Amino acid sequence: MFWKDFGRAISAYGEGIKLINQLKLWKFFFIPALIGLLVGATIIWGGYALSGNIGEYLSSWYPFEWGSGIIEWIADIIGGGLILILGYLMYKHIVLAFSAPFMSPVSEKIEKHLTGANALESQGTFTSLLIRGIRLAIRNILLELLITIPLLILGIIPLIGFLSPILLFYVQAFYCGFGNMDYTLERHRKYNQTPAFVRKNKGLAFGNGAVFMLSLLIPFVGIMLTLPISTAAATVVTVERLNQTK
């Protein structure tokens, strides 16, 4: 069931793009795309601006004069890398949270097209959708970090360390898909009911989030367009699963 759901979530991306074109929804994506661009630019700038401070702190632990220049240079690179990695971990949660008031209406339009009169209308206001998005982002960031730290330690253990990047990608993708699915679930599930639904359908969350994470690696285009398309794809599979469980 997990891998079947995983494949279905990936195939839904093609349907999502068709629905966006068919329903002429691209115009709704300007602000979320701008949010993604600004957050991405801020993270890159932060990595550049703070790398020196972090590098200086790290290099201060080196007690010798000999080779201190090289150590400081390496420490600057490590400092910038740490900021960028942390930023990459948090990027999706920040964008998902602040895009909620704009993506939920898009998800609603797609659901209405798919189900007609059976579609539920969102009862949330701009503010309530934003608050729900931020609450979900904080929850998922804390849980993701709680899982990520042990997995990073796992990476330095011989023989089994190779599992670390695989598991880290799964965790990242799962929570990303979680956020995309919530744009639909906010009309069907209360905030405290959403985690149970997503855990039960973790193959859908992982498949949706996996494409999202890989798409972010595409320069500029990934940051601008990944969220809208992922939201459309998540809406398709989430509506399907909700209809199956009625």
74-122 pLDDT, tens digit each: 666 666 666 777 777 778 888 888 888 889 889 999 999 998 866 666 7
Sign of the alpha-carbon dihedral angle for 22, 23, 24, 27: negative
Q: Could you give the CA distance from residue 42 to residue 45 in angstroms, rounded to a whole number?
A: 5
Could you tell me the pTM of the whole model? 0.84
Average pLDDT over residues 64-68: 62
Neighbours of 58 (CB within 10 A): 17
Report percent pLDDT > 70 for the chain.
82
Q: Could you give the CA distance from residue 140 to residue 146 in angstroms, rounded to a whole number?
A: 10
